[in-house]
Amino acid sequence: MTRFALLVLLGVALNGCLLTVNSDGRVLDSSWDEGDVNRLEVGNTDTQWVRTTFGDPTTRLSYADGTEIWKYRNRSEKDTEVGLFLVFSVDLEQERIETLSIEFDQGVVSNYWIEEDQF
């Protein structure tokens, strides 16, 4: 009985050593970064600064009241490989899309937000 318990303890102790996790992330498409977003000022930043900093928007929405919403997208991918030494290996891929939406009223930023989707 003690021999069996010793084998179980040894198996549990070695199990942590046999499990491997490898993660790799990469940017697929990027049109903005956090530093530039932090420089947006509601009521002060205008369309010219936004276009110079972020470029042309991916999507542009115009409304009857004169407001506009410009959207910019960032796409990234993360690969994670989980394996049990010489027994099995699982590769997980996750795509992440972040959309920065900037709302303008009379050519000045009136609001902005970031939405995140994961697939």
Phi, psi of 36 (to 5 degrees): -70, -40
Looking at the domain assignment, is residue 38 inside a domain? yes
**Domain that residue 63 falls in:** 20-118
Q: Supply 113's token pair.
A: 């937000």
Query: Mean pLDDT lowest for which of 1-15, 25-39, 44-58?
Result: 1-15
- Indicate the pTM of the whole model: 0.67
Looking at the domain assignment, is residue 77 inside a domain? yes
CA distances from 72 to 1, 3, 18, 81, 93 (A): 64, 63, 43, 30, 23
pLDDT at 6 exceeding the cut of 70: no
Domain count, the chain: 1
Looking at the domain assignment, is residue 99 inside a domain? yes
Looking at the domain assignment, is residue 2 inside a domain? no
pLDDT at 112 exceeding the cut of 60: yes
Looking at the domain assignment, is residue 57 inside a domain? yes
Q: In the predicted model, what is the mean pLDDT of residues 67-73? A: 96
Cα gap 88→25, rounded to integer Å:
22
pLDDT at 47 exceeding the cut of 90: yes
Neighbours of 74 (CB within 10 A): 18
